[in-house]
A and B are shown apart, each in its own frame.
Chain A
Amino acid sequence: MDSYDWMERALADPASLDAAAGHTDWRVRYAAAVAMGRRRDPVHLPALFAMLEREAGRPLYDQPRATFPGSHDDTRMAEQILAVHETFDREAGEEEREAWKCRGRVKQACLFAIGDIGGADAAQRRAVEACLRDGDDVVRMAAARALGRIGDGASLAALSGLLDAPEFCSRTEARKSTARLRAAAPEGSAT
């Protein structure tokens, strides 16, 4: 079964999710995380945090700038229907190159799922808060979004660092989640 079939199976068959969550291809793990979020079943939380931990150990943001002879390393490539190939200033193995393509995708999907499932415990909330300091705006945004659903009073301090972030999406989700947590806080609590 190739990765495409695994992805489709993860989205269709809950019994395949644990295996998909541990698959070697990050695309399959991504699909598994999306599927878990759609099911909203807390039984998947351990697998999601396990995937997050696995991502933390991957060289997701280590890619050096690529060059593309005959093309461009920017949005001009989007407009081209041309053969392209990438070159880097150093050698990289297959796992490393796959990590570069992945960047924060699996993390985002896990954080979305964690937020949509809800019911995280304190240690899990702290793990999500740590993602607010991720090197990728996409991950920070997803973590901020999740905390609006699973966070507690302590999460407000973590979110405060993004309230005036220059990047719109993470700033917006941080502000939304902050408002949501404050609205949900018991009267008289320190928020």
Chain B
Amino acid sequence: MRMGEPFLLEDVDGLRASLLSGSDRRTALFEMLRSSARAAPQDFAWFVPFVALMTRDPGDVERARNTIRIYVAKLEPMSFCSGLQFHFWCFAFPHAKVSLYFQWLCTIGAFDAEEEERIRRRLVAYHFVNFYYGLRTKPDPECVDNQTLSLALSTALVGVLFDEGGPGAGGGMARIMRDEGLARLPTVLGHMDPSGYSGEGSSYMDCVNGPAIPLAIELLERVTGERDLLRKGFPPNDAQPVKVLRMVAREFMPGGLLLPWDNYGYQFGVRSTLAYGARKTGDPLFSYLLEKECIFTYDIGIGWAYDDLVWTLVWWPAAGADADCPMDWAEPRVGGALVSTDRNRYCAQLWDESTPDVPTRAHVNPNAVLFNGYGTPLSADGAPVPGGAPRFQYADTWRTIHHFIGAAPESNYGDGCAGAHSVLIVDGKESLRAHSEQPQLGAVDARPGARTLRADVTPLYRENFPDVRRVERRTALHEDAFFTVEDRFDAEESHVVASRFLLRPEWTEPPFGVAIRTPEGATLHLAEVLGGCRIHRESVAGHPAKPDGACRLTDFVSEGRRVRRLFVAFLSRDVDDGEALPGFQALADPRDDLADVRGALFASGLRLDLACPAYMEAALPVSRTWWYGRRVRRAAGPGYLKLPLGLIRPALFLDGRAIDLAPWAASRDLIRPVVPIPADLASVDELEVVLRTDVPVSHYDGDGDGTIGFSGGIAACRPLEPERLLHAAYRDGILEVGTTSRTYRIPYALMED
């Protein structure tokens, strides 16, 4: 086994000094990890070894020893797990992490020689028969995905950690894993798409591929002696690993949610990848996202290990954030996003290719558009509620899945097909998808600097409708104020063509077009200005599961051989950002009723801002249920309370009255609830506000989907008079858009015939 310094943390003394004696956000984050690891080591086990390495406190080291022992004891029963047998990559990566943490602890003498040897042998042999075996199941070089990357990286890492030298010195298994893992890893990196996007959606890019890149680069540089491998073009695709990091960053939308690019839907992003990108490249986008858009109370597995915050601390960049960093982007084979300068208006158009026949993660989204306004998602996309949404289950999209020993249930993948996305639907063929390996994309003209994205997706449609001649979409942002979405369809025969938009609830009733207003007060008004289409509206239950458990499906429909549409998409809002309300009295108490806790709550000397769970903010017990209360002075009139993100089993009381929070049950994990103050309380100038919430007390509370401890605090918000779209017309090459604030007259040439 490699001894001397903790592998990948050679400057451990420098890291220790900065974490133990600093006074910045990095130090505060380390204190949060240390508090959690000490208060509940089995619940926050993934923090424990790193904390021990940093503090070398005997108590921390003992907890870390126990963590490794618990993991090793888990290995044999884990062998019977369906997950290990069918999804071994999910177990390989965390196994390598634990092996790495074991090596770290050995460098500080955490184990005696006999136990150290016993654990080493167990880790090596287990990886050899389960995960080296797993790596060999992946065709070389054809398999290039998060699974193969996890297997190659983990095998190389375990091999490097435990290889003990040449023949006769032991280490046969480790040497084999080292050699084959190190041979395979550059191959996987080199076969990645040059865009950096693996095609697996936001979840696997953010939670596996992105976090794997820093470890892969650091490992390869130490083994090969080469430098700056992050920017090296690995053959045969000349793929640069830095592009993976950059694509991870591009998945962020204003407000911190990632593009709902797969069957997991909207979610928050991890931090360690951004930290590494900022540290190694100095690209301001990484720093900006890390400082301004990340949620630090979000605990999600990276490579199936809840140590994202550990690696965030390890990679933390030296430079501060650039406050003004554009978020526009485009990749020729993937898609792009147009973002207003103030980041209040966002539209992504995506044209990445989907997996033929069964679009599991790589959804069918030929020119799908996704809107986000004022940091709030406006479009609906993602996965249905458990059990599926019948609306998007089609007769030809059933499959048998093999995920469990002794069972092969059926599932329907219709929600991955065209019909569940904001794309063109032809002749009602909602299960449209690719059926062969042929290209799905034609010409692309993506120029975010010019605020325009355009892509030809004819090949995908022609595979399903042989007489189709052209299917294109162009999105543009005009004067930082509104978007246009232009559709073009040509075919030899007449077809029914629908421009479909899946939107979040709820409809409003504008004088023309279609409009929605989200519960947070963000609005979208869609108006088609070329005419000739009818509007079909449909409320869909059960899809997507989040944030609303439903969506509003809108089709603009007409029939013909030649279809042209030009939409104006106007985004606005009717609730302001609000004024933060700090200094709530806080009390840990498991009781549910306000009457039982009120006295103790308002006698509490603990004052907190609800920026995060109390035990993360101060040396407080890891208690599950917390009460917060204060009196709030406000000007009389209508208003809202913007509650923290990530509340669990919340209860809100205003002047002692319970407020129904059920409307936010599905969304509160993703979006801060904006709760109207009841009309009869709006006239009072001082309100007693009491909030009860649970907090996560373990990595595992989220049942595999991660957890969010509440964040963001409470704010008092006011209604805004929204800027409204009054009219939109297109005539003689001029697009005229009138709002309550101004009128725009913009020369606009339709896509050429």
Q: Does A101 contact B79, Cβ atoms closer than 8 Å?
A: yes
The smallest beta-carbon distance between B101 and chain A, in angstroms, is 10
**Cβ proximity bits A142-169 to B, threshold 8 Å, 1 near / 0 not:** 1001000000000000000000001011
Most buried by B among A63, A73, A75, A137: A75
Q: Does B136 contact A65, Cβ atoms closer than 8 Å?
A: no
- For window 125-154 of B, CB contacts with A under 8 Å fall at 125, 128-129, 133, 136-139, 142-143
Q: Is the CB of B412 closer than 8 A to any CB of chain A? A: no
Q: Does A169 contact B129, Cβ atoms closer than 8 Å?
A: no
**What residue of chain B has the Cβ atom nearest to residue A109's Cβ?**
B133
Q: Is the CB of B700 closer than 8 A to any CB of chain A? A: yes
The smallest beta-carbon distance between B264 and chain A, in angstroms, is 13
**What residue of chain A has the Cβ atom nearest to residue B172's Cβ?**
A11
Q: Does B98 contact A81, Cβ atoms closer than 8 Å?
A: yes
What residues of chain B lie closer than 8 Å to A84, measured between beta carbons? 74, 77-78
Q: Does B71 contact A77, Cβ atoms closer than 8 Å?
A: no
The answer for the CA separation of A68 and B484 in the assembled complex, in Å, is 53
Q: Is the CB of A8 closer than 8 A to any CB of chain B? A: yes
Q: Does A169 contact B138, Cβ atoms closer than 8 Å?
A: yes
Q: Does B83 contact A72, Cβ atoms closer than 8 Å?
A: yes
Selected from A81, A138, A168, A173, the residue in CB contact (under 8 A) with B70 is A81
Q: Does B137 contact A169, Cβ atoms closer than 8 Å?
A: yes
What residues of chain B lie closer than 8 Å to A64, measured between beta carbons? 405-406
- For window 29-49 of A, CB contacts with B under 8 Å fall at 30-31, 34, 38
What residues of chain A lie closer than 8 Å to B703, measured between beta carbons? 76
What residues of chain A lie closer than 8 Å to B84, measured between beta carbons? 77-78
The smallest beta-carbon distance between A98 and chain B, in angstroms, is 9
Q: Does A78 contact B90, Cβ atoms closer than 8 Å?
A: yes
The answer for the CA separation of A61 and B73 in the assembled complex, in Å, is 24
The answer for the CA separation of A154 and B371 in the assembled complex, in Å, is 56
Selected from A74, A82, A100, the residue in CB contact (under 8 A) with B404 is A74
Q: Is the CB of A125 closer than 8 A to any CB of chain B? A: no
Q: Is the CB of B286 closer than 8 A to any CB of chain A? A: no
Q: Is the CB of B392 closer than 8 A to any CB of chain A? A: no
What residues of chain B lie closer than 8 Å to A68, measured between beta carbons? 77, 81
Q: Does B90 contact A86, Cβ atoms closer than 8 Å?
A: no
Stretch at the interface among B183-191, B252-260, B298-306, B648-656: B298-306
Q: Is the CB of B45 closer than 8 A to any CB of chain A? A: yes
Most buried by A among B80, B129, B172, B306: B80
The answer for the CA separation of A8 and B79 in the assembled complex, in Å, is 21
Tell me whether A8 and B172 are in contact in the complex, defined as CB-CB below 8 angstroms, given that A64-B406, A172-B139 are known contacts. yes
The answer for the CA separation of A82 and B142 in the assembled complex, in Å, is 35
Most buried by A among B91, B98, B138, B704: B704
The smallest beta-carbon distance between B9 and chain A, in angstroms, is 20
- For window 293-345 of B, CB contacts with A under 8 Å fall at 301, 304-306
The smallest beta-carbon distance between A119 and chain B, in angstroms, is 21
The answer for the CA separation of A28 and B404 in the assembled complex, in Å, is 27
**Cβ proximity bits B355-367 to A, threshold 8 Å, 1 near / 0 not:** 0001000000000
Q: Does A73 contact B74, Cβ atoms closer than 8 Å?
A: no
Q: Does A8 contact B404, Cβ atoms closer than 8 Å?
A: no
Tell me whether A73 and B133 are in contact in the complex, defined as CB-CB below 8 angstroms, given that A63-B406, A80-B700 are known contacts. no
The smallest beta-carbon distance between A153 and chain B, in angstroms, is 23
The smallest beta-carbon distance between B451 and chain A, in angstroms, is 39
What residues of chain B lie closer than 8 Å to A75, measured between beta carbons? 83, 87, 90-91, 304, 704
The answer for the CA separation of A75 and B146 in the assembled complex, in Å, is 14
Selected from A10, A31, A79, A141, the residue in CB contact (under 8 A) with B137 is A141
Q: Is the CB of A56 closer than 8 A to any CB of chain B? A: no
Q: Does A66 contact B138, Cβ atoms closer than 8 Å?
A: no
Q: Is the CB of B67 closer than 8 A to any CB of chain A? A: yes
Selected from B42, B133, B173, B405, the residue in CB contact (under 8 A) with A82 is B42
Q: Does B129 contact A30, Cβ atoms closer than 8 Å?
A: yes
The answer for the CA separation of A112 and B171 in the assembled complex, in Å, is 22
Q: Does B137 contact A8, Cβ atoms closer than 8 Å?
A: no
Tell me whether A8 and B74 are in contact in the complex, defined as CB-CB below 8 angstroms, given that A79-B94, A81-B45 are known contacts. no
The answer for the CA separation of A100 and B81 in the assembled complex, in Å, is 10
Selected from A11, A82, A169, the residue in CB contact (under 8 A) with B176 is A11
Q: Is the CB of B292 closer than 8 A to any CB of chain A? A: no
Q: Does A31 contact B173, Cβ atoms closer than 8 Å?
A: yes
What residues of chain A lie closer than 8 Å to B142, measured between beta carbons? 172, 176
The smallest beta-carbon distance between A179 and chain B, in angstroms, is 12
Q: Is the CB of B170 closer than 8 A to any CB of chain A? A: yes
The smallest beta-carbon distance between B574 and chain A, in angstroms, is 41
Q: Is the CB of B167 closer than 8 A to any CB of chain A? A: yes
What residues of chain A lie closer than 8 Å to B405, measured between beta carbons? 63-66, 73
Q: Does B173 contact A78, Cβ atoms closer than 8 Å?
A: no
What residues of chain B lie closer than 8 Å to A124, measured between beta carbons? none
What residues of chain B lie closer than 8 Å to A185, measured between beta carbons? none
The answer for the CA separation of A3 and B125 in the assembled complex, in Å, is 9
Q: Is the CB of A83 closer than 8 A to any CB of chain B? A: yes
The answer for the CA separation of A79 and B406 in the assembled complex, in Å, is 23
The answer for the CA separation of A4 and B170 in the assembled complex, in Å, is 11
Q: Does B125 contact A27, Cβ atoms closer than 8 Å?
A: yes
Most buried by B among A79, A82, A138: A79
Q: Is the CB of B232 closer than 8 A to any CB of chain A? A: no
What residues of chain B lie closer than 8 Å to A63, measured between beta carbons? 80, 405-406
Q: Is the CB of B107 closer than 8 A to any CB of chain A? A: no
The answer for the CA separation of A109 and B136 in the assembled complex, in Å, is 9
The answer for the CA separation of A74 and B90 in the assembled complex, in Å, is 10
- For window 387-406 of B, CB contacts with A under 8 Å fall at 399, 402-406
The answer for the CA separation of A15 and B672 in the assembled complex, in Å, is 67
Q: Does A4 contact B121, Cβ atoms closer than 8 Å?
A: yes
Q: Does B94 contact A78, Cβ atoms closer than 8 Å?
A: yes
Q: Does B170 contact A8, Cβ atoms closer than 8 Å?
A: yes
The answer for the CA separation of A89 and B91 in the assembled complex, in Å, is 25
Q: Does B77 contact A74, Cβ atoms closer than 8 Å?
A: no
The answer for the CA separation of A81 and B75 in the assembled complex, in Å, is 10
Q: Does B404 contact A73, Cβ atoms closer than 8 Å?
A: yes
Q: Does B80 contact A66, Cβ atoms closer than 8 Å?
A: yes
Tell me whether A78 and B139 are in contact in the complex, defined as CB-CB below 8 angstroms, given that A7-B125, A31-B128, A65-B407 are known contacts. no
Q: Does B304 contact A74, Cβ atoms closer than 8 Å?
A: no
The answer for the CA separation of A7 and B125 in the assembled complex, in Å, is 8
The smallest beta-carbon distance between A66 and chain B, in angstroms, is 5
Selected from A11, A65, A79, A85, the residue in CB contact (under 8 A) with B699 is A79
Q: Is the CB of B82 closer than 8 A to any CB of chain A? A: yes
Q: Is the CB of A108 closer than 8 A to any CB of chain B? A: yes
- For window 32-71 of B, CB contacts with A under 8 Å fall at 42, 45-46, 67, 70-71
The answer for the CA separation of A22 and B406 in the assembled complex, in Å, is 29
Tell me whether A79 and B700 are in contact in the complex, defined as CB-CB below 8 angstroms, given that A65-B406, A141-B139, A169-B138 are known contacts. yes
The answer for the CA separation of A173 and B46 in the assembled complex, in Å, is 38
What residues of chain A lie closer than 8 Å to B87, measured between beta carbons? 74-75, 78
What residues of chain A lie closer than 8 Å to B173, measured between beta carbons? 7-8, 11, 31
What residues of chain A lie closer than 8 Å to B604, measured between beta carbons? none
The answer for the CA separation of A117 and B304 in the assembled complex, in Å, is 37
Q: Does A34 contact B407, Cβ atoms closer than 8 Å?
A: no
The smallest beta-carbon distance between B357 and chain A, in angstroms, is 8
What residues of chain B lie closer than 8 Å to A38, measured between beta carbons? 176
Selected from A74, A112, A141, A173, the residue in CB contact (under 8 A) with B83 is A74
Tell me whether A79 and B305 are in contact in the complex, defined as CB-CB below 8 angstroms, given that A11-B173, A72-B83, A73-B81 are known contacts. yes
Q: Is the CB of A12 closer than 8 A to any CB of chain B? A: yes
The answer for the CA separation of A82 and B73 in the assembled complex, in Å, is 9
The smallest beta-carbon distance between A31 and chain B, in angstroms, is 7
Given contact pairs A65-B407, A66-B81, A75-B91, a sample of 7 additional A-B residue pairs in the complex whose CB atoms are under 8 Å apart: A30-B129, A34-B176, A65-B82, A68-B81, A77-B83, A109-B133, A169-B138
Interchain residue pairs with CB less than 8 A apart (28) = A10-B172, A11-B172, A12-B168, A27-B129, A30-B129, A30-B133, A65-B406, A66-B81, A74-B404, A75-B87, A75-B90, A75-B91, A77-B83, A77-B84, A79-B301, A81-B42, A81-B46, A81-B71, A81-B98, A82-B74, A83-B73, A100-B80, A105-B129, A138-B133, A141-B137, A172-B139, A173-B139, A176-B142
Per CB-CB distance, the 3 closest pairs between chain A and chain B, nearest first, are A11-B172, A76-B704, A81-B45
